[in-house]
Structures are given as C-alpha cells and as structure tokens.
Amino acid sequence: MSEDMRSLRAPIDPDLTLAQAVTGSVTLIIPTFNEAGNIHELLRRLADALPDPEQLPCEVLFVDDSTDDTPAVIEKAAADHPFPVSVLHREAAAGGLGGAVVEGIGRADTDWIVVMDADLQHPPHLVPELVGEGIRTGADLVVASRYISGGSRAGLAGSYRIAVSRAATWLAKGLFPRALGGISDPMSGFFAMRRRVVTAETLKPLGYKILLELAVRCRPRKVAEVPFVFQDRYSGESKSTAREGLRFLAHLASLRSATPLARMIGFGLIGLSGFVPNLAGLWLLTHAGMHYLPAEIVANQAGVLWNFLLIETLLFRDRRRHRHWADRIGRFALLANADLLLRIPLIALLVTRFGAGALPATALALVTTFVLRFAATEALVYLPRRTRS
C-alpha cells in the first residue's frame, strides 16, 4: 500500500486546518463543450483555491468534446499555473458529458477524483473541502449539495429550470431509494470520489448526470455531503436542453433495468402498453372494411413495432451495437409473432389434455409464452454474437 493511501485511512485530528488535513493526490476532471470563455477564469480561481502542491498534489484533466477553440485555449492557459493541466480532446463524444468523465476516470491514477463543470457554477474553492470532508469522515463519495443547510440553487435560471431540477431529483430518488438514500442532490455534477471505488468498465453513462451513474452502479460504502451555492454561469450558454432531458429519462430506465428481474418486469409493462397501438390498428382496419382475422394479424404488427421501439430505447439501449437494426427488428418480429402461434396450441393442449378451464389455460399460456419470449429476446436479439477463436 502506498504512503498516500495509508494517510487517507489514518484518523484525522479535528484541530488540523483544512489544508493540513487534506492528504493524498487528486485528479480534477472537467468535461468541456465549447467553454473557451470560461477557461482562464476557472484556472485562475483554482490556482487561488488549491493548497500548495506539496500538501495536495493535484492535476487538472479537461476532457473536451468542443467544436470551438476550447482545446487551444486550455493548452495556452496551462503554462501559467503551478499544477499540471492537460486536455484530452475526443473526436466522438460517446456518452455525452458522462462519457467524457468516464474517459477521464480511466486515465486517473490518483487517490481522489473530483468532477466539476467548467462554467464556474461549481465554486472552485470547494475542491479541497470536498476531499478534506471525505478524509475526515472516511467517506468514499462526497457530494456538493444544493439541498442541505447552507446550500442554494440560486444559479438556476428561472422557475422552470428549478421545477425541472426538483422533479428530476424526486424521480431519481424514488426509483433508487437505497442507492441514493444518503444523497440529497443526485443531480449534482460536483463531487469527489475515491478512485479505488470506481470501476470504469462497469459505467455506461448516457448524458450529463454522471453522479447518478456512479452512485447506482458503484454503490459507494459511505457518502458525505458539503453544501454549496450554485452560481450563475460565467460565460457561454447552458447545455441543458429538452434533448438532454430525454436522455436523462432514458438513462434512468437503463439503470433501473440493469438486473434480469427488472428487465423482465419492464418487458412485461412494455408488452402491455403494446395493446394500445394493436387495438387502435384493429379498429381502423375493421372500420375500413377489412375482415377481422387478417386485420388482427396486421394490427399485431403495430404492437410489435411499438414494443420494439420502447424495448430498444428503454431496456437494451447499450446492447444495440451487436447487431444491425434490421437484423434486430426482424428477429424481434419473428419471436413476437411466434408467440401467437405457440399460445393457441398450448391453450388447446391445456384444455383438452389436462382438463383446464379456458381462462386459467389462457392465463398460464400467456405467462409461459411471455417468459419464453423474454428469454429468447435477450438471447437471440440482444446478446452479442459469439466470435470464433
């Protein structure tokens, strides 16, 4: 074990100053997208906030997805600061802001990782306090929170953004009461985490709520919080858009469906929702004069397409790259229609051979074919192809 790691686990004297208490080493990961106007001021405030490098060795890593001159501005500004500053520019912004943070985590080999935005809505002077709080309390994750005593969401522009932020917080905490039980502000993008508790390979971020991803997938043993006042953006425009809101909802669904049981429940709920387009299609076709039997077959395809789109978006988003979309929809449709062909003979078998009533036989057939279809969908549509050795 390194000397730094031993010092992290040693008890902290409560009489020490913050700068004396902070030990170890820190990588400050700052994801950027067109933030050129904020870089000089951000680095200036960090230089004022961070302790002497001998007390808190700190390096700043910008992970950049910009389409402007942000990388060049960072490289030019880096020479004027006492701590190492580097920039990793990504040609493909895989995973959005969260994906940028994960790439930064993969490159970090320090004791602590601090994540913050570049727009100065996260006050740089709190960086050493976040790490110091983690060392004092033994926490694996320290979150800068707007929703505890001393914190404020003042920098959120307008009642609409405040309402959206609150609704997103309630939704996330409602879906993950255990993983987020000790976190009052799971939407915060400002936090410190011990590097040893993060397994970058398990992270599958989507959009900008990386704290949510880390808390749910990595399950830190102990969480602490530090209040902070959310500041006004220093320069540039907010990246919060309706599209990011939709990505957030898809991210929640992906996290919630991470276990096989949760995926099966989600699969069933999506299947039930498929009755709406199915019945709507049947009504339209029969009222247009089509016989009800061929109309049922055609209308069933509307339900199949509906189910496929929702399952692709909400349940198996991270498994879509293994097969071409046409291959996936063809296999899915084949399985969905085979379900009809299997269900009717199974009902007949249960009624004629085993003497079951029509209703219990139908219910048992529905459950049986549902379980088989879910297992077949995972295995035949969304599992990766086997590669020949």
Look at residue 282 in the predicted model and tell me its pLDDT: 79
Domain assignment present for 60? yes
Do residue 45 and residue 75 come from a single domain? yes
Look at residue 382 in the predicted model and tell me its pLDDT: 84
Taking residue 235's Cβ as centre, other Cβ atoms within 10 Å add up to 15
Do residue 367 and residue 219 come from a single domain? no
Look at residue 64 in the predicted model and tell me its pLDDT: 93
Q: Which residue has the tokens 């405040």?
A: 162
Residue 240, SS3?
coil
Summarize pLDDT for 113-162 with one digit per residue, the tens: 999 999 999 999 999 999 999 999 999 999 999 999 998 877 665 676 77
Do residue 286 and residue 248 come from a single domain? no
Look at residue 384 in the predicted model and tell me its pLDDT: 65
Dihedrals phi, psi of 114, to nearest 5 degrees: -115, 130
Summarize pLDDT for 56-67 with one digit per residue, the tens: 789 999 999 999
Interatomic CA distance for residues 136 and 192, integer angstroms: 13
Domain assignment present for 388? no
Interatomic CA distance for residues 191 and 185, integer angstroms: 10
Give the domain extent around 14: 3-255
Q: Are 139 and 133 in contact (CB under 8 A)?
A: yes
Interatomic CA distance for residues 88 and 42, integer angstroms: 17
- Angle (CA) 57-63-69 rounded to 5° is 115
Residues in the chain: 389
CA-closest candidate to residue 135, choices 261, 19, 291:
19
Interatomic CA distance for residues 187 and 278, integer angstroms: 38
Do residue 220 and residue 284 come from a single domain? no
Look at residue 17 in the predicted model and tell me its pLDDT: 40
Do residue 249 and residue 267 come from a single domain? no
| Close Cβ partners of 172 (under 8 Å, ≥ 6 residues apart) | 180, 186, 187, 209, 212, 252
Q: Are 203 and 213 in contact (CB under 8 A)?
A: yes
Domain assignment present for 323? yes
* Adjacent-strand bridge partners of 62: 30, 87
Strands in 260-321 per DSSP E: none
Domain assignment present for 389? no
Do residue 48 and residue 144 come from a single domain? yes
Q: How many domains does the chain have?
A: 2
Look at residue 123 in the predicted model and tell me its pLDDT: 93
Do residue 40 and residue 154 come from a single domain? yes
* Adjacent-strand bridge partners of 114: 28, 192
Domain assignment present for 20? yes
Token duo for residue 8: 């992290």
Q: Are 56 and 50 in contact (CB under 8 A)?
A: yes
Dihedrals phi, psi of 219, to nearest 5 degrees: 45, 65
Look at residues 216, 236, 255 and tell me which one is the last residue of a structural domain. Answer: 255
CA-closest candidate to residue 366, choices 289, 272, 303:
272
Do residue 27 and residue 114 come from a single domain? yes
pTM of the predicted model as reported, rounded to 2 decimal places = 0.67
Q: Are 254 and 318 in contact (CB under 8 A)?
A: yes
Domain assignment present for 134? yes
Look at residue 347 in the predicted model and tell me its pLDDT: 78
Look at residue 73 in the predicted model and tell me its pLDDT: 93
Here the CATH number for the domain that contains residue 203 is 3.90.550.10
Q: Are 50 and 58 in contact (CB under 8 A)?
A: yes
- Angle (CA) 178-189-211 rounded to 5° is 30
Do residue 250 and residue 351 come from a single domain? no
Q: Which residues of the chain have a pLDDT value below 50? A: 1-22, 389
Taking residue 58's Cβ as centre, other Cβ atoms within 10 Å add up to 25
Look at residues 255, 276, 305 and tell me which one is the last residue of a structural domain. Answer: 255
Look at residue 18 in the predicted model and tell me its pLDDT: 44
Strands in the chain per DSSP E: 26-32, 58-64, 85-89, 112-115, 141-145, 191-194, 223-227
Do residue 151 and residue 242 come from a single domain? yes
Look at residue 143 in the predicted model and tell me its pLDDT: 95
Rg, C-alpha atoms of the chain: 26
Fill in the DSSP letter of residue 13: P
Look at residue 95 in the predicted model and tell me its pLDDT: 76
Look at residues 209, 225, 255 and tell me which one is the last residue of a structural domain. Answer: 255
Do residue 98 and residue 117 come from a single domain? yes
Do residue 266 and residue 174 come from a single domain? no
Q: Are 244 and 164 in contact (CB under 8 A)?
A: no
Interatomic CA distance for residues 338 and 335, integer angstroms: 5
Interatomic CA distance for residues 21 and 24, integer angstroms: 10
Interatomic CA distance for residues 94 and 206, integer angstroms: 9
DSSP3 helix / strand / coil % (the chain, rounded to 5): 55, 10, 35
CA-closest candidate to residue 190, choices 9, 353, 42:
42
- CA 168 to chain CA centroid, nearest Å: 13
